Structure 1
């Protein structure tokens, strides 16, 4: 489940669908990236800093709520409606429902007003009982990870049972952050290729969000530009937790094949477990896409799987304009052996993203590009 992102103007529609080098950097390692402005946009929270110190080893983008069945909640003698009505509070006292702004595979999307927070939110109302059951695990994940600046905010699940308030739609209500901005996929579409400083900034924000998920023992499973949201202020947030799993290990094959790590796709033929570093591989693929696009993404499904599981790791073109630090970052993210791939915690000290000079200026430039790109 992501959020609803209102386009800045009338503009974009979101579209559908190396070399090995063992990571040696310590958490204290820093790097620089030259620019005109100085400053740091994303400061690690005190909790993050504590973990880094203690652990050694170094548009409206509409809310997309996964329709895959996850963990079915307990029911009262098979009656899911009664169960959810008992489990979740009545939404009418918390929200004022606005107009319909779209549809989702699971239900209808509305904007709404959070009465106590006094802010606009996105609300997906799910009437289908099977879909209501299928989304329970995603709701649990959002409850665990919400509240971090690089994660889409979640404002709770509610259940309205007619005819308590006949004017309100019956069903499961999911309230999330309503973002004015675009997806990373949209941003790429405005320029075809992003500059290196922009890529560095965006990768740092995503990695910070992944570090938060790592601490919560959550594996996202679907990191890709379509699921990365950028606000009108240039803030970067991870959304869409429909494939996310609990625990340090997973054997799930869910996700988007183009961005899936070799160890994930290997599970189609030989079941085994892997960890959160699968999300780091996905970040590396997204970084290449920001820089040069993905020429291999249109391969037939089976050939794509074979290329990822058996072929060499993708790299930036050797004749490109990219710095050694960026190439090193890509090679680290795309280590084929997960044990040699850095964790999100380790990656935060990488020279490419560890300490970006002019970070506030980069954020401002991205926000300005969104405003320009969304206008016709």
Structure 2
């Protein structure tokens, strides 16, 4: 690709083309546009007007397939970026109609993606031989420009940029779109630290026919996943490109040699594990994203949790044996470091340069909370919670609630106010736990569906709260980010284990299920052979993998077990490592219900359970007594219906655990004293 698309999202008054009256080119901050394509390469002449509204001013670059123009929006009197999705040199005359239909569908899909880390699309226009998308024009340099200036980036900054790219990809993939050309040149970095994924010129739908030009796979070879050389793209291939980009940021070079596809492919085959000298705590993330088998590659949820862990670690943290970073050359003025997606809770303060909403008292409270959810929730920023100065608990989404959340006139009004402010109930669930909460295929409207005991419980609670199935939205969370999802109001409830109770900012209702505790091991391994019971793990000091911050991480050492030195953020990562059979992970500790879902593999088995149980319940933000009262009533009703509870268990967990019945747990009187 010759030039790079410089259309950006977000913005505000800082960009030279975002005002109500367009400025003359060259009158604001300099736009760092790449070399424009030659006039003969364009399919539209300068000053042509598309649909009587967008006047093409000048070509500003080419990216993917088709040209990019700076254009004047005559209706709203502003400058925008207009991009044609079809390259007339890549589409044969006989396939023009089908190419137009394909581009039309892709433009519609891209236009629906609304995310702060994805280029904003204003409009879609179709002419006789072209499909155009109209995007916000933004003054921002690319990550490629930044790397050219600084050569390498410090680990915290690289992790912050990578995390924002990942958030953008999650939104793209949720819309069933594949970017297909993730690389530094297609990532914009604003002065305030915001990162924007651009250039969807060769984007396609998941599962679509591979798009080629002259028999070659479209894209940029050094960033192409190995499977693209013999099969079609997938979300995993976009994540490979993210891994290459992260590697380039911290190591100052590409992980694999070659400019032509066959050269890159040969380099990957010869050296599938490029050395990491300066990655520090980013090393496991990069290694996980650069797994040559897409089935073993990190998924977005795991990568998200691991990047958050890196961002939460001290900036100078680095694993033992890591070579010291080379001194960075004195850079030219460059964008400020990206804001950390999950900072620790803190009192409200004056916002820094990067817009970051904080709590507000009085009439500004609801406005700030709503704005934070709309603009910042997907970027992973945290909106701090606050309790009124008089000590009265408040629900910042629904206004002040009754003094104790009880039924009665005050309590009823408080609940009505809360429900009015929440027409849709957002529930956080995990997506990778068979029998509990597992992501299924998409429904007729293109939304993911979920199945399991947790999901059935969520629907029962939602129904008791007065929400129909169509009013419930499931949001995927992990052990590492579920509490922050609650705190920043990305979700209203989370179906989770009792480990969330450790936070004073979270209320918990349950248990509705009590899981056993145990281990999953490989049936046979070169080092340990067949592990028959947990006593072997103790006596041989077999390192156990479990989730950092879990009850297992706290309790297992006291029971005589040995933990891995560096624990990951999720159980999912441990299980993937165990199932791969190519790592030093030989045992994983987790809940029996979680492990049973993975024990279906012929290569692993569950050991007999150990002492203790893990309880599951429903979490919510503290300071919402009206909601908590309703959830207490809903969970109590489920547990009172013994037949209904047993039906849920038989449907979801009995086939996995091979236990036909379990006792219905008792609701904890300490969390619901009046239930």
Give the TM-score of the pair, scaled to structure 1.
0.61
Matched ranges for 1:1-376 at <5 A: 2-4=5-7, 9-10=29-30, 59-60=32-33, 91-92=51-52, 94-95=53-54, 97=55, 99-100=57-58, 102=60, 104=62, 106-107=66-67, 109-113=69-73, 115-116=75-76, 119-124=78-83, 133=96, 134=99, 137-138=102-103, 140-145=105-110, 146-159=113-126, 173-248=132-207, 251=210, 253-265=217-229, 267=230, 272-273=231-232, 275-292=234-251, 293-294=253-254, 296-298=256-258, 301-317=261-277, 320=278, 322-323=279-280, 325-351=281-307, 356=312, 362-363=337-338
Kindly provide the CA deviation profile for residues 7-57 of structure 1, in whole angstroms up to 9, marking residues without a partner as x: 98548xxxxxxxxxxxxxxxxxxxxxxxxxxxxxxxxxxxxxxxxxxxxxx
Change in 2 beyond 3 A, CA 1:238/1:114: farther
Q: Distance in 2 between matches of 1:139 and 1:354?
A: 40
Change in 2 beyond 3 A, CA 1:137/1:148: farther
Answer yes or no: is the 8 Å Cα contact 1:63–1:122 preserved in 2.
no
Answer yes or no: is the 8 Å Cα contact 2:7–2:137 preserved in 1.
yes
Runs of 5+ unmatched residues, structure 1: 12-58, 65-88, 162-169, 369-376
SS of residue matched to 2:284: helix
Kindly provide the CA deviation profile for residues 274-325 of structure 1, in whole angstroms up to 9, marking residues without a partner as x: 63111111111111111121264446653322122453232322xx3x32x2
Runs of 5+ unmatched residues, structure 2: 9-14, 17-27, 38-48, 212-216, 316-334, 341-351, 354-675
Change in 2 beyond 3 A, CA 1:248/1:355: farther
SS of residue matched to 1:179: coil
Q: Distance in 2 between matches of 1:107 and 1:246?
A: 21
Deviation at 1:209, TM superposition (A): 0.9
Deviation at 1:138, TM superposition (A): 4.4
Deviation at 1:101, TM superposition (A): 5.1
Deviation at 1:108, TM superposition (A): 6.7
Q: Distance in 2 between matches of 1:307 and 1:127?
A: 32
Q: Distance in 2 between matches of 1:358 and 1:303?
A: 38
Provide the residue aligned with 2:439 in structure 1.
none
SS of residue matched to 1:214: helix
Deviation at 1:4, TM superposition (A): 3.4
Kindly provide the CA deviation profile for residues 306-354 of structure 1, in whole angstroms up to 9, marking residues without a partner as x: 122453232322xx3x32x211111111112222212123211114567
Q: Distance in 2 between matches of 1:124 and 1:144?
A: 15
Kindly provide the CA deviation profile for residues 56-83 of structure 1, in whole angstroms up to 9, marking residues without a partner as x: xxx235899xxxxxxxxxxxxxxxxxxx
Deviation at 1:242, TM superposition (A): 2.5
